[in-house]
Each structure stands twice: as C-alpha cells, then as structure tokens.
Amino acid sequence: MNNPYGIEALWSQGDWVTKSVAIILLLMSIASWFVIVVRAWGLFQLRKPARALADFWHSQSFAEGLHLLGPSRPDNHFRHLAEEGQAALDHHTNHKTDLHGHLPLADWLTACLRGSIDEAAERLQRGLAILASVGSTAPFVGLFGTVWGIYHALVSIGVSGQASIDKVAGPVGEALIMTAFGLAVAIPAVLGYNALTRGNKGILSKLHRFAHQLHAYLITGAPPTKAVAPVTRLDSRGKSQPEAV
C-alpha cells in the first residue's frame, strides 16, 4: 500500500522547483560525505607516522628514521617534512654560490621547513570549505523548498475550497520534508567539519614540534669541520714556535 504522504508522493506531486531543491540537497550530501570519508581516511593513515616520531630519534641513522616514518608519498607529511629538511641542508651546502648560499643555514632551514608545513596545512584543509558551505546553506535550501511547497499547498487548497485536516496535512507535511532533508544534510557536514578541523590541528601541532627538532638536528647534527693542528718546531732556545705551512 502506497503512503499518500510519503517521499514518493512528494516527488510525484512536486513541480520542477521542488525536484531541483531535492536534487541539490542530494548532491550536497554526496559531496560532504565524500570529503568526510576521504579526509578522515587521510588522518587515519597519519596515525602510524605520528606514533613513530619517538622512535625516529632513537634510530641509528637518518635513513633508518625515514623508514620508520613510513613510505614516501605526498600525504605522509611527517616523512615529507624530514626529506625536505635534509634536501634543504644538502642544497645549501652544495650551492654556496647561489643567492641563498649567502643566507645563514639556520634561516634557510627555517624557511624550507616552514614552507613544507604550509603545504601540509593546505593539503589537510582541502575540502573543508565544502563542508562549511554545506553546513551553513543546506538548512536554508531545505527551507526554501518547504516555503515553495507550502505555497503550492495553500494555492491548491484555495482552488479546491476545502481546508479540512486531511486536505491540509498531506501537502503541508510533504513540504516540511524538505526542511528535514536540509537538516539531514547540514548536521553531518557541521559535525564532520568540526572533527576534521580538530584532527588537523593535532597533526599540525606535531608537525611544528617535529620541525623544531629537525631544525636543531640539521644545524648541530652535521659533522663538524676538524681544525688542523698547527705544526710546531723548537727554536735554538728550546721553545716551540709555530711553523709556517
């Protein structure tokens, strides 16, 4: 038995405006859930390299530490940060004649590590604007469909000249379904946005701490240049004198 007041009746009796609003809400819901799933999976994959940060500094070599951080890929922000720091150190050391070669090594490493963190932040925040837009506009889109449906319901009631409960409940109830659709789309988008934002802040905080440690290691962990001991000789009075090389 078909429900005369259900969603099927709303779709069959609605005009192109009502159907367009329903399709828009459906597309907004698909887009928001796609962003939530993809971003949440990305944060889940970062849990392992985040836990490996402590083991990174107990490794016997930098290459071994990189292996502990997981495979090299764009969404592995911790390994990418370490690789960028090492590449910046090697580039500064091997290109002293370039303009950046005149910069202090500490300033050059700071700029490179900060740039890597900025790129990671941009990647983590991709899609969050969609969630914010859906969460703020979906209720109003659904409300527009409700107002439009109630308007047509009142028009049909006025034309028929019957305002009994059975005549009013169906059209008005079907129109109010659009408000429920809008809320059903907006609430997951808002909750997903808040959860992903909180997760991104945690990852960025760990990246900043890791960058500070990397900066100290790359500055002080490089092998120092050994000074050559001066050659001495004894003069006629038996005192040591430096000998010109």
Predicted confidence at residue 101, as pLDDT, reads 60
The mean per-residue pLDDT over the stretch 146-161 comes to: 73
Kindly tell me if the per-residue pLDDT of 235 is higher than 80: no
Q: pTM of the entire structure? A: 0.74
| Phi and psi, residue 240, nearest 5° | -80, 135
The answer to whether the beta carbons of residues 243 and 231 sit under 8 Å apart is yes
Distance between CA atoms of residues 226 and 95, nearest Å: 21
Residue 104 has pLDDT above 70, yes or no: yes
Q: Read off the pLDDT of each residue in 159-186 and give the average, rounded to a whole number.
A: 74
Taking only the tens place, the pLDDT of each residue in 179-202 is 888 999 999 999 999 999 999 999
Q: What residue ranges do the domains of the chain occupy? A: 7-242
Q: Which residues lie closer than 8 Å to 11 by C-beta, 6 or more apart?
A: 19, 22
Res. 137: pLDDT tops 90: yes
